[in-house]
């Protein structure tokens, strides 16, 4: 490599710009088009020349420099970042036959009010990649942030890791790139790359990885970008998030993908515009025929109404787009034998029988356990120890025993007896020896030990501490296991008695880490009513139901004292859920837990609730939140607005009544000012809420 020390600063700047262009071009040819124009050695020579220039003139090392792909500094943690446009999931069509495609087309035509003789609807048909969803934010063509899906509302900032993936351009190419373009897509690992990675692991005497999907997801979420850089990751773009001022925006989804490809982003060639139901059926069958020959794993195909105008007309239902569906393929199945049947105790005390299997490779992973669901399922299928069974990865995720091959059962006299959960356990919980019961109308046996049961304590604490509940940073599986096993925690309120001395005495817990846990516990005391309700782990009460309860009643005491009839008045709460909530708060020990948590300082803002006759000052109003408010989290502000009868929207339009803006408010604030909308700060919001 020639020395660059003789170059002036201006000459070095010009040469660096030239090298940027050449290296980006050759990386695109290599990673995206799979059609390199120069040998690797020549590329390395250009790369090293740029490295030398940047070493001599550090100001040349820009964020989009090809040298910035090699991995940056070690991260302390992955920061949580809200999505400007939520990353929503799509509905799954469970009928894996051709009728599944026809059913989707029929739903679309009905929603659009099309007569039988009307022309067929055009759809964009694509592959459903088996990887990790990611959102890439480009500003003025430059990659500025990469965020995982997370819970759909917010994800983890993995920008440093994503920069290491050669297929993802650091700067978009071509003309007409909008000022802000959020590209949604999938990080995945090719099968051949996965095999090479495992071969290297075996040669180095290191552990091998289980499957491409989990390996890709784990690599993206590494705290050390250099580790991510060593993983052979790939990327495909398949959609958009936030877009600002795209003057040449296409009118179809397929056109959008073409535009993304023109910007230098990798887009799968395995896609088509399908006409009507039969077009969808043909695509589904074509992909099924070549599924095993694809270089990467998929778990189905995706259909989207191609016209963006029709997408907007169809809208969303239950936070899922009406205009899209994932059409799965029949789950892959394999044959193996049942070595034993174990019983697992879940967070709510549910006892689940689990088949311990001779290892078998199914759907891309080695399976050694499979759920048997409950005693009724075992009896219906007549699963016995020693049986040969068919195992399927249900939904390509949870392995289950589908059926028993009775013709392969050992001859009479050597076969095991029919398996009975109650008899096997002698009526006692396998963890705490409490009685197990099976309530009338229930299919599951449950442990009556509650928080006295070690299995339930651990899971109850983990559920309480998770991000979507009390969000106690650092309180993970291993720490909770130590706390419970050593008898330091028996109930949820005892979490708030932990101090630095107790925690730092635990294995692998330094004083600084212990202090971080104590600080996180203290911070978690300030929460919201929906988060607290969800964190209690009431059976059948998920995040949405917890929000509905808080919105309806406004105050926890009203929920605790509500009758089944009163609970049934809550949106989407049916008899089963109402009875579960009522039964939970009927138990004295559960009320005691709540009071002890309150006494420990856990608190939240309460209101009158929609069931109250109190006025609701924001009834019928639409608000948009942007930026960071001084004292309210996004969830707290949203809960307060909804409790006052208002609706929180994700984007600004002429129909928006108020925009609540905090620090670092971005394009939504600019849009509000452009439309002449009323903009409030946190104090203004609080005044509005008071009526």
- Together in a domain, 267 and 384: no
601 near 525, Cβ under 8 Å?
yes
pLDDT over threshold 60, residue 5: no
Q: Look at residue 74 in the predicted model and tell me its pLDDT.
A: 45
Q: What is the pLDDT of residues 159-170, one digit of tens each?
A: 999 999 989 999
Rg over alpha carbons for the chain, rounded to the nearest Å, is: 28
| Helical spans, DSSP H, in 268-399 | 276-290, 308-314, 375-381
Helix, coil or strand: residue 162: helix
Q: Name the nearest CA neighbour of 134 among 240, 32, 224, 214.
A: 240
CA 353 vs. chain centroid, Å, equals 27
Which residues are CB-neighbours of 399 under 8 A, at least 6 positions away?
362, 367, 369, 370, 371, 391, 392, 393
CATH code assigned at 410: 2.40.50.140
Give the H or E element holding residue 24: helix 9-27
**C-beta contacts of 495-501 below 8 A and 24+ residues apart:** 495/461, 495/464, 495/465, 495/521, 496/521, 496/525, 496/597, 496/600, 496/601, 496/602, 497/600
Listed residues 306, 328, 350: the one ending a domain: 328
Q: Look at residue 71 in the predicted model and tell me its pLDDT.
A: 43
Please report whether residue 403 resides in a domain: yes
Mean pLDDT of 258-272: 96
Q: Look at residue 440 in the predicted model and tell me its pLDDT.
A: 66
* Domains in the chain, number: 6
CA 686 vs. chain centroid, Å, equals 32
Give the angle subtended at the CA of 41 by the CAs of 38 and 43, to the nearest 5°. 55
- Together in a domain, 167 and 272: yes
pLDDT over threshold 70, residue 69: no
Give the angle subtended at the CA of 456 by the CAs of 453 and 459, to the nearest 5°. 150
Please report whether residue 108 resides in a domain: no
Listed residues 328, 356, 372: the one ending a domain: 328
Please report whether residue 251 resides in a domain: yes
- Together in a domain, 486 and 347: no
pLDDT over threshold 50, residue 242: yes
Q: Look at residue 213 in the predicted model and tell me its pLDDT.
A: 82
Q: How far apart are CA 657 and CA 617, in angstroms?
A: 13
- Together in a domain, 538 and 637: no
Q: Look at residue 65 in the predicted model and tell me its pLDDT.
A: 82
Q: How far apart are CA 368 and CA 370, in angstroms?
A: 7
Mean pLDDT of 181-206: 89
Other C-beta atoms closer than 10 Å to the C-beta of 360 total: 18
Q: Look at residue 614 in the predicted model and tell me its pLDDT.
A: 55
Mean pLDDT of 642-649: 81
Q: Residue 331 — pLDDT band, cuts 50, 70, 90?
A: low
**128 part of the active site:** yes
- Together in a domain, 163 and 241: yes
pLDDT over threshold 50, residue 72: no
Q: Look at residue 130 in the predicted model and tell me its pLDDT.
A: 86
Q: How far apart are CA 598 and CA 572, in angstroms?
A: 28
Q: Name the nearest CA neighbour of 170 among 83, 249, 72.
A: 72
Give the 3-state secondary structure of 255-302: HHHHHHHHCCCCCCCCCEEEEHHHHHHHHHHHHHHHHHHCCCCEEEEE
Helix, coil or strand: residue 660: strand
CATH code assigned at 675: 3.40.50.10190
DSSP letters, 470-521, are T--TT--HHHHHHHHHTTS-SSGGGGGG--HHHHHTSTT--HHHHHHHHHHH
- Together in a domain, 270 and 350: no
Higher pLDDT, 442 or 105: 105
Higher pLDDT, 449 or 171: 171
Q: How far apart are CA 40 and CA 30, in angstroms?
A: 10
- Cα 469 to Cα 345, 460, 543, distances in angstroms: 22, 11, 8
DSSP label of 635: H
CATH code assigned at 63: 1.10.287.610
Please report whether residue 115 resides in a domain: no
pLDDT over threshold 70, residue 222: yes
Please report whether residue 303 resides in a domain: yes
Q: What percent of the chain has pLDDT over 90?
A: 52
For 185-199, b where at least 16 C-beta lie within 10 A, e where not — what string? bbbbbbeebbeebbe
Please report whether residue 300 resides in a domain: yes
Structural domain that includes position 683 = 622-689
55 phi/psi in degrees, rounded to 5 = -70, -35
- Together in a domain, 193 and 319: yes
623 near 592, Cβ under 8 Å?
no
Q: Residue 411 — pLDDT band, cuts 50, 70, 90?
A: confident
Q: What is the pLDDT of residues 455-484, one digit of tens each?
A: 888 888 999 999 999 999 999 989 998 998
Mean pLDDT of 76-86: 86
* Marked catalytic residue, from 45, 110, 128, 655: 128
- Together in a domain, 416 and 555: no
pLDDT over threshold 60, residue 226: yes
Please report whether residue 613 resides in a domain: no
Q: Look at residue 131 in the predicted model and tell me its pLDDT.
A: 87
The token pair that represents 278 in the structure block: 């039969």
Q: Residue 320 — pLDDT band, cuts 50, 70, 90?
A: confident
- Together in a domain, 185 and 230: yes
- Together in a domain, 159 and 289: yes
Higher pLDDT, 575 or 341: 341
- Together in a domain, 264 and 323: yes
Q: What is the pLDDT of residues 119-163, one digit of tens each?
A: 999 999 999 998 899 999 999 999 999 999 887 888 899 999 999
Please report whether residue 154 resides in a domain: yes
CATH code assigned at 586: 1.10.150.20
**C-beta contacts of 567-576 below 8 A and 24+ residues apart:** 569/611, 572/544, 572/545, 572/548, 573/545, 573/548, 573/549, 576/540
- Together in a domain, 505 and 640: no
Q: Look at residue 177 in the predicted model and tell me its pLDDT.
A: 96
Give the H or E element holding residue 199: helix 191-203
530 near 468, Cβ under 8 Å?
no
């Amino acid at each position: 490599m020639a020395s660059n020390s003789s170059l002036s600063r201006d000459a070095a700047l010009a040469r660096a710009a030239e090298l940027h262009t050449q290296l980006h071009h050759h990386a695109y040819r290599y990673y995206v088009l799979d059609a390199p124009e120069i040998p690797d050695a020549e590329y390395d020579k250009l790369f090293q020349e740029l490295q030398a220039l940047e070493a001599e003139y550090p100001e040349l090392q820009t964020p989009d420099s090809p040298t910035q792909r090699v991995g940056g500094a070690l991260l302390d943690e992955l920061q949580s970042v809200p999505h400007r446009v939520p990353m929503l999931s799509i509905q799954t069509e469970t009928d894996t036959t051709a009728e599944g495609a026809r059913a989707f087309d029929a739903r679309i035509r009905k929603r659009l009010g099309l007569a039988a003789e009307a022309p067929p609807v055009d759809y964009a048909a694509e592959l459903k990649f088996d990887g990790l969803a990611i959102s890439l934010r480009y500003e003025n063509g430059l990659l500025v942030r990469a965020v995982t899906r997370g819970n759909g509302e917010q994800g983890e900032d993995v920008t440093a890791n994503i920069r290491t993936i050669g297929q993802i351009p650091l700067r978009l190419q071509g003309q007409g790139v909008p000022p802000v373009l959020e590209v949604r897509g999938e990080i995945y690992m090719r099968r051949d790359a996965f095999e090479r990675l495992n071969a290297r692991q075996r040669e180095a005497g290191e552990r091998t990885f289980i499957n491409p999907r989990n390996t890709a997801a784990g690599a993206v979420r590494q705290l050390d970008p250099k580790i991510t850089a060593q993983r052979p990751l790939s990327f495909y773009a398949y959609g958009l998030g936030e877009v600002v001022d795209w003057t040449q925006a296409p009118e179809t989804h397929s056109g959008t993908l073409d535009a993304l490809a023109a910007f230098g982003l990798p887009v799968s060639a395995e896609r088509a515009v399908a006409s009507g139901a039969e077009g969808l059926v043909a695509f589904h069958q074509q992909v099924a025929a070549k599924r095993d020959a694809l270089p990467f794993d998929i778990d189905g195909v995706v259909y989207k109404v191609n016209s963006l105008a029709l997408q907007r007309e169809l809208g969303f239902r239950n936070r899922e787009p009406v205009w899209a569906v994932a059409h799965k393929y029949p789950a892959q199945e394999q044959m193996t034998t049942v070595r034993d049947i174990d019983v697992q105790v879940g967070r709510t005390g549910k006892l689940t029988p689990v088949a311990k299997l001779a290892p078998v490779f199914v759907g891309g992973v080695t399976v050694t356990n499979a759920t048997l669901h409950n005693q009724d399922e075992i009896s219906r299928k007549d699963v016995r120890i020693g049986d040969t069974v068919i195992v399927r990865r249900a939904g390509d995720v949870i392995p289950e025993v589908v059926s028993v091959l009775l013709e392969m059962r050992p001859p009479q006299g050597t076969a095991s007896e029919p398996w009975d959960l109650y008899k096997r356990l002698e009526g006692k919980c396998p963890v705490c020896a409490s009685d197990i019961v099976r309530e009338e109308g229930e299919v599951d046996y449950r442990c009556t030990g509650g928080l006295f049961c070690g299995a339930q304590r651990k899971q109850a604490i983990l559920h309480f501490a998770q991000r979507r509940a009390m969000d106690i940073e650092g309180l993970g599986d291993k720490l909770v296991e130590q706390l419970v096993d050593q008898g330091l925690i028996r109930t949820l309120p005892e979490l708030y008695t932990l101090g630095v001395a107790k925690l730092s005495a635990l294995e692998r817990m330094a004083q600084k880490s212990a202090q971080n846990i104590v600080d996180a516990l203290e911070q978690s005391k300030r929460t919201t009513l929906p988060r607290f309700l969800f964190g209690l782990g009431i059976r059948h009460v998920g995040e949405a139901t917890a929000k509905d309860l808080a919105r309806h009643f406004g105050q926890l005491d009203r929920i605790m004292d509500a009758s089944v009839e009163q609970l049934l008045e809550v949106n989407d709460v049916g008899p089963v859920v109402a009875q579960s909530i009522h039964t939970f708060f009927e138990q004295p020990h559960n009320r005691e837990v709540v009071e002890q948590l309150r006494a420990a300082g856990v608190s939240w803002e309460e209101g009158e609730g929609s069931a109250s006759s109190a006025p609701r000052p924001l009834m019928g109003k639409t608000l948009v939140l942007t930026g960071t408010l001084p004292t309210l989290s996004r969830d707290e502000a949203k809960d307060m607005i909804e409790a006052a009868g208002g609706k929180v929207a994700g984007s600004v339009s002429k129909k928006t009544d108020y925009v609540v803006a905090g620090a670092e408010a971005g394009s939504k604030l600019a849009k509000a000012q452009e439309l002449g909308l009323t903009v409030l700060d946190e104090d203004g919001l609080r005044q509005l809420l008071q009526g």
